A and B are shown apart, each in its own frame.
Chain A
């Protein structure tokens, strides 16, 4: 009798462990997907920048430095590794792009260029996509980390080596002003 009860308890525990383990795997996979989505958008931005430079070069002859900064920041971002480095490099790239667009404001011919307008829309949208992908990634990481730290799933996480993930954060306070572009005016 007692043997049966012990057996049943062991069976229940076994299935609970399986359930918790599978949940952790699913959540970790979601984080990976979220990260991959950020990567897709970052890559898209790298691909757009050469076009942008090419279009702007003809108009911005006296602003060589601004253009070079963008190219340099792009290269740094491509070479970055690790969540923290990557975040920093991407923030750098964002701010150089922003100064390029700010400079472009002074060149009406460039501003009116249809190619430039299309590129600007694509870059603004890609910027939004990056920030939404980051938001989604952070949301999923938050859920995953909570699971790895709370009872009872933290025991399973410890046993099978589920480590908490890093958030993709902004370091620079000035950049918390989220890019707002109004297309009505």
Chain B
């Protein structure tokens, strides 16, 4: 299996195995060859983390696993700079293993997608309840580039996920899908920014959050369309499902549109299970508890089914709601 392993935030080459077609360097080594590029993307040049470069026209068929292992409570700050060359494609599956109950992570990934490049990043964060986790993805997309980000979490004491995409050239596509299933006192914050800086690009955001117990969720998303970005198509949908009286959900959808020929929409709903739907199911012989779990499954399943490799673990989290 091809994988990049970070132990307590440190890249661990001895546990990692990288397909030979791609360049993978510890950040300090990358300074020598890719210093100019890195200086443009970072205000402070990172000296830890990993630099990954996929040369042009390489289509990796198997996903690369990005595994984080946490041994102790000290803050781990994994960092990746990923450059996907012209016409290349790559898929990442990120997950974590915890040997501590109180992990603390502050992770960053920067994606640079060249023309026609495509990247898929699937992040499943099933955290211990005392975890503190903050993870940011930022990205730039050139012409015809495609970026797809998926995030699923069960939340934690602090669990923050933020995804930014900057569509720099025409015909770029950015997709963000996220699912938070929060029970107990867990919380999840999801932030998204889709910045349209060129015409004819599309962005889509679908963020679903289901909350039981005394959990809390917050979604804040923005679609930003610059004056030049005519013919933009940008959609944002946030749905939050409250399953208890004590759970608290907040949503802050934003649209800032400075171009006049744009299709954009945003929707945010915070609701409980629908009484008419529950009655319909019960009137067919389902007990209220089975009817409720079926409706919760109906809410979450659309996104859970997108990650077959983690489906079982996510269904288990769903059943804790």
Say if A and B assemble together.
no
Instruction: Name B's A-contacting residues (CB within 8 A).
Output: none
